[in-house]
A and B are shown apart, each in its own frame.
Chain A
Amino acid sequence: MSRRLALALALPLAFVQPAAAAVKASDVIARAVDGFVRPAYAGLRDHAVAMAGAMKSLCEAPSQEHLDAARERFSGLVEAWSTAEIIRFGPITENNRLERMLFWPDRKSIGLRQVQAALAAKDGTAADPAGVATKSVAMQGLGALEFVLYGNGADTLAAADDPYRCAYGRAIAGNVEQISAEVAQAWDKPDGFAATWETPGPDNAVYRDGNEAVTELVGVFIEGLDLIRDVRVKGFLGREPGADKPRLAIYWRSDNTARSLAANLAGMDALFQVSKLGEALPEEDRWIAESIHIQLVNGGDTARQVAGPIDAALADPARRALLEHFSLITSSLSNLFGTRLTAAFGLTAGFSSLDGD
């Protein structure tokens, strides 16, 4: 079975679905772009615009109400980014955009110290979006904005006593809006990167055949699941409770850790569904696609049950068990994508290369 598909995949752009119409690689990619990538980045841009608007209101009229609104916008922005960030190739890789949007992990707290230093010195060169865009990547994105909104001293934003802090936060929000708009625009261009991905062929500069284009798509899941489990979750969830490190959890300050993890899987589920990648599987392998969908939904639901501050969740055996279960689900998904799906398609899916070594 896998050999038959491998042969079919080697044909220009086509992989064949036995006993049904042929599934073309370019169609799968076009559905991924139109049904997931473009809407995800459009959603990110819209949330970034809303975030910038909330910061404007907060800075112009500081109040607890406006601070609460800005914080709520921040959580929405985190969710939108966590959906879109599973795409780690194409326009987001230009001009350090990926790192500028989110510099994480900040293992040695270099970024944190830079943000704190800017706040302490009231660094005027970081108080507008264009200025922030020239700073270290750690000072430009969601991590820095989270510290502004939730870190030590953030409550002063509700009063008029720290205009600099608000101005810096507003500048970061403007910068995030700018980056999001650039990426959305780059994907929307008819002759841009989307066209490159959708039309593999011998003259294509990146994807020389349909296999390579589909491998890029499958790589989103394989690499993304690795990132979620080995970097995001393993970074704070210890082998036993004593080894937990809640302050290494992404977005711990804003209580968005679990929301982000859930959105990562929700993004994958959306991408998997709209691309109809599973429909390229032969009938006897359709269970793989069904299992993937069930597990992605299951994983998202599991993460969403871990509400509230991550340190409290880790201290609560029931919610900590949910995090362990979430991690197990991602392992199961890695197997479904990395072993089962790729074997059924006759793809090796970058066993060496995706590891980066």
Chain B
Amino acid sequence: MGRTPLIDRRDFLKAAGAGFAAAMAPTAWAAALEADAVFATAYVRHGGGYGAAVLSEEGKLLYAVDLPNRGHDVTFDPVSRRAVVFPRKPGTVAVAFDHTRRERPATFACPSGRHFYGHGVFSPDGALLYATENDFDNAAGMVGVYDAGGGFRRIGEFSTHGVGPHELLLAGDGRTLAIANGGIETHPDFGKAKLNLSTMRPSYVLIDRLSGDLIEKHELPPELHKLSIRHMDVDRAGAVWFSCQYEGATTDRPPLVGRAARGSELELLDMPEKVLNRLRNYIGAMAANREAGTMAVSSPAGNSYVVFDTASGGVVSATDLAEVCGIAPDRAGFMATSGAGAITRPGAASVSAPDYVWDNHLLRIGGPA
């Protein structure tokens, strides 16, 4: 995979189905791309260079775009069918691309005095893009608002009411943003140094994306102030699940997964000690499979991912996979990608692309789940 042309159309068509494949015209190929689920992720090439890829369910590279810096998460707008890949912090340049190739990739930057945190989300109509950002001189979390129809011009910003925001998502009402304020202060002058670990106070906030008003803010109990809330997804019942990375002692075993319901305190999930040990105080990504009623969390530090039943909160499975991080719903389970180049999915042999380090997040785009 690594040294062949990035888009192996023949292989893709073979995988897409026998008979018609050979004669499939480019438009039909595009249609196949529309109908089937595809998965987007940022990557690092071992040989050098950063990019974002769209993979088929079979793990074939369907589309790739170069990135100026290391990417992090990808967000997708089903209206315009465009995706945006954000840089990992402290990157300042995001890239919008259309994996069906109707448009050329476009880059846009956050303003000076800000950097991206790696996550963003479109408004339901695709008109606006919201991104978590750092007002680093003031150590203040911000959401940058971009005009998606106008070349991603930045048209505003509002506070996240916390430090170090990471993932954000849009609630089912299409109006409320849920934001994980990780609580960790960093500044580009000092690389990745965490500047406030002894006093960090992560929070989970709900913000009206139209007014920027704070609707709710929740913190963890003081003894868990080093539990950085970082990633989220919504389960089948509409509840927001969140997952954490712990900045305290190596041998502490705090809970790492929780649920947030409107108007209620954050709820942390108990899990068996053996399962918790697998997560090594570090969850790198989480994703729901709403059809299956499950939620997966991945730990590259613990080399495993764990799937929960979202109704009961019980553990469904725990799977070993070296350096796993990217995770996305696929059929009745999850597709997972790793820093060692592996792509695994339910009921199929895993694919290896050893030249690729798949980055932290994997996004499912389209297709029946």
Contacts and interface: CB of A to CB of B under 8 A. Distances in A.
Interface of A: 89-90, 93-96, 98-100, 103, 105, 107-108, 136-137, 193, 196, 204-206, 208, 211-212, 226-227, 229-231, 234-235, 248, 339, 348, 350-353, 355-357
A108 B196 CA distance: 11
10 contacts: A90-B251, A93-B248, A93-B250, A94-B249, A100-B198, A105-B190, A193-B250, A231-B190, A231-B192, A356-B245
Most buried by A among B199, B250, B284, B302: B250
B282 A196 contact: no
Contacts of A356: 192, 194, 245
A205 B339 contact: no
B80 interface: no
Contact of A248 (B189, B197, B199, B360): B189
Interface string B224-250: 000000000000000000000100111
Nearest to B226: A96
B190 A357 contact: no
Given A93-B250, A108-B139, A353-B299, 4 more contacts: A205-B277, A211-B303, A227-B192, A357-B88
B249 A93 contact: yes
A206 B277 contact: yes
A107 B249 CA distance: 24
Contacts of B253: 205
B251 A355 contact: no
Interface of B: 44, 46, 72, 88-89, 118, 139, 187, 189-195, 197-199, 245, 248-251, 253, 273, 277-278, 280, 282, 284, 299-303, 322-323, 325, 338-340, 357, 359-360
A208 B339 contact: no
A230 B191 contact: yes
B356 to A, nearest CB: 11
Chain B's interface: helix, strand, loop or mixed, by majority?
Answer: loop
Chain A's interface: helix, strand, loop or mixed, by majority?
Answer: helix
Most buried by B among A212, A235, A248, A353: A353
A357 B191 contact: no
A233 B273 CA distance: 41
Nearest to B245: A356
Nearest to A137: B198
A351 B339 contact: yes
Given A99-B198, A205-B251, A352 B192 contact: no
Nearest to A233: B191
Contacts of A94: 248-249, 251
Given A89-B250, A107-B187, A193-B251, A226 B192 contact: yes
A226 B253 CA distance: 27
A230 to B, nearest CB: 3
Given A206-B277, A357-B284, A351 B323 contact: yes
A351 B358 CA distance: 9
Nearest to A2: B354
Contact of B192 (A89, A100, A339, A355): A355
Contacts of B302: 208, 212
A171 B253 CA distance: 33
Contacts of A204: 277
Nearest to A98: B197
A338 B85 CA distance: 25
A212 B320 CA distance: 12
A105 B195 contact: yes
Given A235-B189, A357-B284, A206 B250 contact: yes
A356 B278 CA distance: 17
Contact of A353 (B44, B199, B248, B284): B284
Q: 7 smallest A-B Cβ distances: which pairs?
A: A230-B191, A351-B339, A353-B300, A353-B301, A94-B249, A348-B323, A352-B300
Contact of A231 (B193, B300, B359): B193
Contacts of A205: 251, 253, 273, 277
A41 to B, nearest CB: 15
A208 B278 contact: yes
A357 B251 contact: no
Given A107-B187, A137-B198, A90 B250 contact: yes
A350 B323 contact: yes
A352 B356 CA distance: 12
Contacts of B284: 352-353, 357
A231 B90 CA distance: 13
B277 A208 contact: yes
A357 B360 contact: yes
A123 B89 CA distance: 40
A7 to B, nearest CB: 12
A208 B321 CA distance: 12
B198 A231 contact: no
Contacts of A103: 198
A334 to B, nearest CB: 12
B91 to A, nearest CB: 11
A226 B194 CA distance: 13
Contact of B191 (A96, A208, A231): A231
Contact of B323 (A96, A226, A230, A352): A352
Contacts of B325: 352-353
Contact of A208 (B139, B193, B303): B303
Contacts of B338: 348
A208 B275 CA distance: 11
A229 B192 CA distance: 11
Contact of B360 (A93, A99, A196, A352): A352
A179 to B, nearest CB: 13
A226 B301 contact: no
B250 A357 contact: no
B249 to A, nearest CB: 4
A230 B186 CA distance: 12
A357 B89 contact: yes
A348 B339 contact: yes
Contacts of B199: 136
A107 B195 CA distance: 8
Given A230-B192, A357-B284, A351 B357 contact: yes
B118 A357 contact: yes
B235 to A, nearest CB: 24
